[in-house]
Chain A
Amino acid sequence: MTGPSRRARLLGWLFMIAVGLYFLAPVYWLIVASTKSTSDLFSTPGFWFADFNLWQNLVDLSQRDGGIFWRWMLNSVIYSGLGSVLMTFISVISGYALAMYEFRGRRIVLAAVIGSMLVPQTVLAQPTYTLLVEIGLSNTMLGVLLPSLVYPFGVMLGFVYARSSVPPELLEAARMDGASEWRAFFSIALKLLSPGSVTILLFAFIGSWNNFMLPLLVLSDPRLQPVTVGLSGWSQAAITIPGLQTLVIVGALVSIVPIVVVFVSLQRYWRSGLAAGGLKL
C-alpha cells in the first residue's frame, strides 16, 4: 500500500493552514484585544500585543454598573447550567421509558417527539413569550428556564442511546432480584446511559448558552438577563460610551472561557457521541 502522493500532502497542508488561520485568528484577536487599553485598541496593530492592560480591564469589567457582568454570568450559569442538567435528566428518563417499556400511548408520544423536532426553537420564541405574558411569567427567571427544558431532540437521543446501550435482560435480572423500576433506572440504566447523557448535556448547554431571542423578549430587567443579552446591550450603548467597547471585548472573552474549557475537556464525547446519535436517527 502506498500513501498519498507528495503533491496531495502539500495541498493538504496548505488547506489546513488556511483553515486553521480562518477559525483561530478571530479567537486570537479577541485574546490580544482583551489585553489592551481603549486607546491602544484603536491605535496599535490588531494582531499584536501592546501594553498589557488585561488586569485593569477585568477590574473595570467587574466594577461597571455595580458588577452587573458577574450577575449576568451567574444568570447564564443558572439558565444554561441548571437548565441543561434538568433538561438532560428529563430527556434521558423519557427516552428510557419510550425505549424500554411497552405501554398505551407510547406511539403517540414518540410521534409527538419526532413531529416537534421539526418545530424550530426560535419560531417558538414569540409564541412562548405570548403565553408567558398570559400566565404572568414574563420578566421572570422561570419564564426563561422552564421553556428551555423541552427539547424533543434530546428525548430522541435519549431514546436512541437507551435502545443501544441498555440490554433488556439486565433489567429483567434486576426485577428478578426485586429491584423496583425506579431503582433499576437509577442504579443500572443511568450508569449505562451516562456517556450518552454527557453528549446530550453538552449540546443542551451550548444550545441554551446560545439562546438569545426568548430572553431578549421576556427579560426587561437587566439583572435577570443572561450574559449574551447583557453584552449585546453594552455593544449597543458603546456607540455613545467610549470605554465600553473594551469591556465588551473582555466580557466576550470571559464569557467563552468556561464553555471552551468544558469543550476541550469533554472532547471524546462530542467527537463520537453526537455523531453516533445523529446517524442512528
Chain B
Amino acid sequence: MSTGTSVRPAGSRRALRSGGIRWAPYVFLTPFVLLFLVFLVAPIVTALYTSFFAVERSGLGFGNANESVFVGFDNYVRALSDSGFVSSFGRVLLFGVVQVPVMLALSIALALVFDSAVVRWKRFFQLSVFIPYAVPAVVATLLWGFLYQPRVSPIVELLESLGVSANFLAPGTVLWSIANVTIWSVTGVNMIIIFAALQTVPRDMYEAARLDGAGELRMALQIKLPMVLPAIFLTTLFSIIGTLQLFNEPMTLRSITSNVTGDYTPNMSVFTATTLGGNINLGSAMAIILGLVTFGLSILVSVVSNRRRGATR
C-alpha cells in the first residue's frame, strides 16, 4: 500500500522530506479510509438501496427468473406493520429500563467499594468481576443456559430443595434470565471505566471531607459520585446502544428454549427476515429502521444528559 519512503538519494533529501511530510498522512490513512468506504459506507448505501426494492418472480414465459423491482417504501411499511418486529422494540425497551439501571448501579457500587478503604484483596475481586467480560456472549449464554435448565442446574436443584420451584426459561421469566447473562458479562468493564474515573479525583478533596466528619457512604454519594458523572454518562450511552442491539444471548438461548421467538429482539427480526424469511430487502429495511432508532436514542440521551448537567451547574 505504501512504498518505502526511506530509500531516497541523499542529495535531494531536503526537498523530498517536505514532500514526505505532505504525503505521509495520506499514505498512513489509506488502509483505513479504503476499508471504511468499502465495509462501512458501502454496506449502508447497499442496504438503503436494497430496502427500496423487492424481488418478484416473473413467471410469464421467463421461467423462474427473479426480478428486482423498485417498490418505494413498501418494505418499510411492511416492517412497521409486522407486529413481531414492532413489539420486539417494546421488549428490548422493557429489558433496558430494568437491565441498564441494575447493571450500572452494581458497577457504580463496585467501583465505589474498590475506591474506598473498606475491603482488601481488591485486585482479586476486580479480576473476578472483570473475567466474565472475557467470556464471549455466546459461551456465557451456553454456560448460564445449563444453570437455567432443570435437569442439570444446581441452582434449580437448590431452590427446589428449599421448596421453590423456579423456571428460568418460562415465557415470563426468560427475558430476565437473558438480562442476568448480560449483567454478568458487562458489569466488569463498566466498573473499570467508573473506577478509573474515581482514581483521577484529587485525594485532598476526601481529606477535607473526612476532617468534617463525613462517613465513607456520605463521601461516596456526595463527593465521589458527582465527580464521575461524565464516565457514568458514557457507560449509560454504550449500555443503551447495547440493549437495542441485543442478539447473541437470546439467539443462543433459542437452542434450549422455544420461549425465545425468531423475532424476539429487533436484531433477531432482521436476522430472521434475511435468512429464514429469505427476504433480504425486508431485512435491509428493518436494519435501517433499527439503525435510525439507535441513532435517535443516542442523541436523545446526550441531549437530556447535557441539559441535566447544565442545570446542576
**A13 contacts which chain B residues (CB < 8 A)?**
119
Interface class of chain B by DSSP: helix
A116 within 8 Å of B (CB atoms): yes
- Within 8 Å by CB of B39, from A20, A150, A255, lies A150
Chain A residues, Cβ within 8 Å of B242? 120
Binds A, one of B55-63, B93-101, B163-171, B284-292: B284-292
B127 x A19 contact (CB < 8 A): no
Task: Tell me, in angstroms, the Cα distance from A249 to B142 when the chains sit together.
Answer: 8
Checking B29, B46, B192, B195 against A127 with a beta-carbon cut-off of 8 angstroms, the contacting residue is B46
Q: Does A241 contact B (CB under 8 A)?
A: no
Indicate with 1 or 0, residue by residue over A9-21, a CB within 8 angstroms of chain B CB atoms: 1011101100110
Q: Which of A5, A100, A116, A180 has the most CB of B within 10 A?
A: A180
B217 at the interface (CB under 8 A from A): yes
Residue B21 at the chain A interface, CB threshold 8 Å: yes
Per-residue contact bits, chain A 100-124, to B (CB 8 Å; 1 contact, 0 not):
1101011001001000101111111
In the assembled complex, A146 has its CB within 8 A of some CB on chain B: yes
Q: Decide if A131 is an interface residue (CB 8 Å cutoff).
A: yes
Q: Are B6 and A30 in contact (CB under 8 A)?
A: no
CA distance A42 to B151 in the complex (A): 6
B85 / chain A contacts, CB cutoff of 8 Å: none
Instruction: Please tell me which one of the listed residues A1, A109, A209, A245 contacts residue B33 in the complex, with CB atoms under 8 A apart.
Output: A109
For A279, what are the chain B residues with a Cβ–Cβ distance below 8 Å? 193, 196-197, 200, 230-231
Docked complex Cα distance between A129 and B286 (Å): 14
Contact of B142 among A23, A152, A235, A262 (CB under 8 A): A235
A212 to B29, CA, bound (A): 28
User: When the two chains form their complex, are residues A116 and B36 in contact, meaning their CB atoms are under 8 A apart?
Assistant: yes
Complex partner residue of A130 from B47, B132, B133, B275, CB under 8 angstroms: B47
Could you tell me how many residues of chain A have their Cβ less than 8 Å away from some Cβ of chain B? 108
Inter-chain contacts of A130 with B (CB < 8 A): 43, 46-47, 50, 280, 283-284
Q: A residues 213-231 with Cβ under 8 Å of B? A: 213, 216-217, 228-229, 231
Residue in B17, B25, B43 whose beta carbon sits within 8 Å of that of A131 in the complex: B43
Q: Does A63 contact B (CB under 8 A)?
A: no
**Are A8 and B216 touching (Cβ within 8 A)?**
yes
B256 beta carbon closer than 8 Å to chain A: yes
Known: A120-B245, A175-B17, A232-B252. Is A133-B119 also a contact (CB below 8 A)?
A: no
CB <8 Å contact, A97 and B25: yes
A248 within 8 A of B: yes
Is A8's CB under 8 angstroms from B118's CB? yes
Are B21 and A101 in contact (CB-based, < 8 A)? yes
Choice from A217, A239, A245, A262 contacting B274 with Cβ under 8 Å: A217
Report Cα–Cα, A236/B255, bound state, in Å.
4
Contact of B40 among A94, A122, A124, A238 (CB under 8 A): A124
**Does B312 have its Cβ within 8 Å of any Cβ on chain A?**
no
- Flag B1-17 by CB within 8 Å of A: 1 or 0 each: 01011101000010001
Q: Tell which of B13, B128, B139, B280 touches A133, judged by Cβ atoms closer than 8 Å.
A: B280
Q: What's the minimum C-beta distance from B152 to chain A, rounded to whole angstroms? A: 6
Residue of B nearest to A27 (CB): B131
- A14–B22 CA distance with the chains assembled, in angstroms: 61
A178, B247: Cβ atoms closer than 8 Å:
no
Asked if A29 and B147 make an inter-chain contact with CB atoms under 8 angstroms apart, the answer reads: yes
Q: Which residues of the partner chain A approach B207 to less than 8 Å between Cβ atoms?
A: 1
Is A85 close to B, CB under 8 A?
A: no
Chain A at the B interface: SS class:
helix
- Residues of chain A lying within 8 A (CB to CB) of residue B52: none
* Min C-beta distance of B15 to chain A, whole Å: 13
Inter-subunit contact B231/A278 (CB<8 Å): yes
Kindly state the separation between the CA atoms of A179 and B215 in the bound complex, as whole angstroms: 58
Q: How far does the Cβ of A69 sit from chain B's closest Cβ, in whole Å?
A: 13
**Contact between A23 and B143 (Cβ–Cβ < 8 Å)?**
no
Interface residues of B in 242-295 (CB under 8 A from A): 242, 244-245, 247-248, 251-252, 254-256, 267, 270-271, 274-275, 280, 283-284, 286-287, 290-291, 294-295
A147-B39 in contact given A103-B26, A130-B47 (Cβ < 8 Å) = yes
Known contacts A23-B128, A235-B256: A255-B196 contact under CB 8 Å: no
Q: Which of B20, B113, B143, B247 contacts A122 (CB 8 A)?
A: B247
Which B residues between 82 and 137 are near A, CB-CB below 8 angstroms? 109-110, 113, 116-119, 121, 123, 125-137
Is B284 touching A126 in the complex (CB atoms < 8 A)?
A: yes
Interface residues of B in 225-245 (CB under 8 A from A): 230-231, 234, 241-242, 244-245
Q: Are B134 and A263 in contact (CB under 8 A)?
A: yes
- The reply to whether A183 and B128 contact each other, CB–CB distance below 8 Å, is no
Contacts A23-B128, A46-B152, A127-B287 known; A146 to B35 CB distance under 8 Å? yes
Point out the residue from A3, A185, A235, A272 that lies within 8 Å of B145, measured CB to CB: A235
Q: Which of A84-101 contact B (CB under 8 A)?
A: 90-91, 93-94, 96-98, 100-101
Cβ 8 A contact of B271, one of A15, A101, A217, A249: A217
Residue contacts A-B, CB under 8 angstroms, 18 given? A12-B118, A29-B147, A29-B154, A109-B29, A123-B245, A124-B44, A134-B46, A146-B35, A152-B40, A180-B17, A213-B251, A216-B271, A228-B136, A232-B251, A235-B256, A239-B255, A239-B256, A264-B127
The 9 closest A-B pairs by CB, nearest first: A275-B196, A46-B154, A12-B118, A127-B47, A181-B24, A127-B43, A97-B28, A101-B25, A236-B255
